[in-house]
Chain A
Amino acid sequence: MLLEVSGLSVDYVLDRADVRAVDNVSFTLDRGEFLGIVGESGCGKSTLLFAIAQLLAPPARIAAGSVTFKGNNLVGLTDGQLASVRWRDMSVVMQSAMNALNPVKSIGAQFRDAMRAHGKTSRDEIGTRSAEVLRMVGIDQAHLGSFPHQLSGGMRQRAMIAMALLFTPDLVIMDEPTSALDVVAQRSLMVQIKELQRLLGFAIIFVTHDMSLVSHFSDRLMVMYAGQVAELGATRRVFDEPLHPYTRGLLEAFPSIRGPRVPLKGIPGNPPDLSVIPTGCRFHPRCPVVYEPCAEVAPELADKEGTLVRCLRYTEERSVPDDHAAATG
C-alpha cells in the first residue's frame, strides 16, 4: 500500500464558524493505481487533494485524520520534514498550467529550480534529466529554452507533467490537468498520462469534474458530494451499475454523442453551500428517490459487494427503485 488516507477532515476556519470542506474521508491507494475523484465545484475534491499533498494554507486546516504515505503520517510534519517527500516521492500537477508556470522564466530554468531545491545540483545531471522528461511527454528538448507563452496550452500542460516526473515519484496528484484543453488534446494527454504510468509505475490521484474523462483510464472512482464520499468502487462498475442516486444523476447529465437524442433533466437544484449543510443525507434535497428517513438520518458508507456507497436505500436494505429515470423524468 502506497497511501492510506484515514478519517481525513478539513475545516476552513472562518470568523462566523468553521466550515467543514472535507468530512471523514478514508481510502487507500496501491502502487501504480489510478484513482479518479469526481464531483461538482465545492464538493471538496480539490481541498482533499491539497490536504493529501500537505499544501493547505490558512484558513484551511486538517481537523482530524491521517495521511500515511509510504508508512509515514504526513499530517503535522513541518515543511522541512516534508521537503524530502515532496517532488521526490510525491508531486502535484496543478489545474491551470497557464498560471502555474512562471511566465518570465524558461521551461528549462523552472526545471532546474525544482531539481536544485530538491537536492540535485549537478549541472549535467539536471540538463540530461530535463531533456529526458520533456521527451517523455512528447516535447522536443529544444523547448527547454522556450518561455511558457511560446508553448500551446497542451504543451504547457505536458511541460507541467514533465516537471512532476523529474524525480520519478511514486505518486502524482493531478488537479484537473486537462480542463483547459479541447477534446482532442484532452484525450491525447490522457492516453499519454496512462502510457507514462505504465512505463514508470507511479500511482495517480486524478481529480476532475468530468466523469466521462476518466472512465477509460482510472482503476477506481470516488464520487464526492458535499465534502463526503458518496460512492467509491471499481471504475467500470460505477459506470455500469451506479449505486448512489447522485452518481446516477451525474451519469445521466451527460448528453451522448451516439444513440437517440433524449431529453435530459440534469440534477435539480444546486450543490449545497458547505456552511449550510442539509440535515440527514446531504443529497436528499436534490434526490429523485428520497424517502422519509433521508431528511433525518445521515447515512454511513455501506459496503455493497465491494463498492462503498453512502445512501440509506442500501443501509436499510431498501433498494433504489429501477424506475429512477422515470422519477426524474
Chain B
Amino acid sequence: MTTPLLRAEHLTRHFKIGGALSKRTLHAVDDVNFQIGQREIVALAGESGSGKSTIARLLARVYQPTSGQVYFSQGEEDPGTALSAMRSRRARLRYSSEVPMVFQDPFASINPVFRVSHGVLRSLKLHRPDLSAKERQAEAARVFGVVGLGADMLERYPHELSGGQRQRVGFAQALAGRARLILADEPVSMLDVSIRIGLLNLMATLRDTMGVSILYITHDIASARYVADRLIVMYAGQIAESGPIEEVLADPRHPYTQLLVSAVPDPRAPLSVDAETDIGEPPKVIDPTPGCRFRFRCPIAIDQCGTVTPELTQVSGREVACHVAQSGAEVKAFTS
C-alpha cells in the first residue's frame, strides 16, 4: 500500500466547559483513527456537533490535540512527520500552505474591503517568497484559471461576485500555496442548488488533474457520494463507519449510517417512514461513560452496548464500530 498523505492516530480533542470551577469536559473528538490517501477525496459526514469541524481544525492546527497525533507525509518515501514535531516557523508555514482550509461561508471568508486578488497574492507572498511581483500576478491569474474564473475577476471586489464565484476564490487561494490536501468545511452548503454541482465538479477536477487530496466535510450524503472516494461517518466524536463510499452507502452496516442514509430526501423514491420516531437530536458528549454513544437512539442496542465502547473494526470491506455488526449479525436498524 502506498504511503497515506495524512494519518491521524488516536486523535482526541476535549474542551473544558462551564467556567473555571467546572470539571466537566466535552469530548468533541475521541480516539479517532483515519488516513487520507494521495489524490483522494474523503468525505467526513455526520450531524452538527459530531466533531467534523473539530477534526478539520485539528488538521489545520487551529486546535492542538488533547492527545493523539497527526502525521503528514511529504512523498511516497516519507512515512510522515508528526504535526507536533513541526516546530520551526518554516515547517509550520509549509504545512499550512500545503494543507489549507476552504470555509463554509463564502460571504464571510473573503475580506470585503480588498480586491479578491488580495488573498491570493498575500498567500503567494508569504508561502512562495521566491516569486517576483510580476510572477505573483501571473500565478494568481493561473490559479484563477484553474478554478474557472477569468483573470479579469482578480480585480473585482467580493461583493461583485456571486456565492459560487467567491467559493471558487477560496479554492484559488488554497491552490496558490501549492495545496496537497484541502480541508473543505461544508464548501457548498451555503450555495444555491444549481451552483453546487459546479463546485463539486471543480473538486473532482482538482483531484484528477492536479492530484490534490480533499477532506470534504459535509452533512449532505448525496453530494458526498457524487464526489468522494471514501466516506467517514462520525457520530458524537467517534467514527461510526468508514470505507469506500459506494460500498458503505449501498449497504450501510452501522445503525447510524443507516439512519443517515434513510433520512436523505429522495424525490424519486416514496417517503420512508421508518425513522419517523427518531427525533434527530445529537447527543452532548460531556463526560461520557463507556458504551456505544448511539445506543440511546439505536433500536437494536444490546446489553453490551451500554458497557463497552465498540472499537472500529473491519467488517465486510469497511470499518464499523458496532457490536451487533461485529458479531456477524445482520444490522437492520433503519431501512431506506
Contact = CB atoms under 8 A, between A and B. Distances in A.
Co-complex (A, B): yes
Interface in B251-282: 259-261, 263-271, 273, 275-276, 278-282
B163 A184 contact: no
Contacts of A152: 281-282
A7 B278 CA distance: 42
Which are the 4 A-B pairs with shortest beta-carbon distances? Answer: A185-B280, A266-B197, A215-B267, A255-B226
5 contacts: A154-B279, A185-B279, A211-B267, A212-B266, A253-B196
B226 A181 contact: no
Given A183-B219, A216-B265, A253 B197 contact: yes
Given A40-B193, A255-B226, A257-B249, A210 B281 contact: no
Given A155-B281, A255-B225, A184 B47 contact: yes
A183 B263 contact: yes
A213 B278 CA distance: 17
Contacts of A261: 225-226, 246
A264 B226 contact: yes
B41 interface: no
B280 A239 contact: no
Contact of A256 (B47, B266, B278): B266
A6 B260 CA distance: 41
Given A183-B263, A210-B265, A154 B280 contact: yes
Interface residues of A, number: 42
B246 to A, nearest CB: 8
B133 interface: no
B281 to A, nearest CB: 6
Contacts of B164: 270
Given A254-B222, A257-B221, A257-B225, A266 B265 contact: no
A30 B268 CA distance: 27
A154 B49 CA distance: 12
B193 A253 contact: yes
Contacts of B226: 255, 261, 264
A185 to B, nearest CB: 3
Interface string A187-204: 111010000000000000
Chain B at the A interface: SS class: helix
A248 to B, nearest CB: 11
B269 A182 contact: no
B223 A255 contact: yes
B265 A182 contact: no
B150 to A, nearest CB: 14
A40 B47 contact: no
Nearest to A138: B279
A261 B247 CA distance: 13
Contact of A251 (B197, B220, B267): B267
Contacts of B263: 183-184, 186-188
A63 interface: no
A10 to B, nearest CB: 21
A266 B195 contact: yes
A29 interface: no
Given A249-B194, A266-B197, A266-B198, A257 B275 contact: no
Given A184-B259, A266-B201, A271-B162, 6 more contacts: A154-B280, A185-B280, A188-B278, A212-B267, A215-B265, A266-B194
B194 to A, nearest CB: 4
B137 interface: no
Contact of A187 (B267, B275, B281): B275
A153 B280 CA distance: 10
Nearest to A189: B280
A216 B280 contact: no
A270 B221 contact: no
A209 interface: yes
Contacts of B267: 211-212, 215-216, 239, 251, 254
Contacts of A40: 192-195
A264 B197 contact: yes
A253 B164 CA distance: 14
A265 B199 CA distance: 10
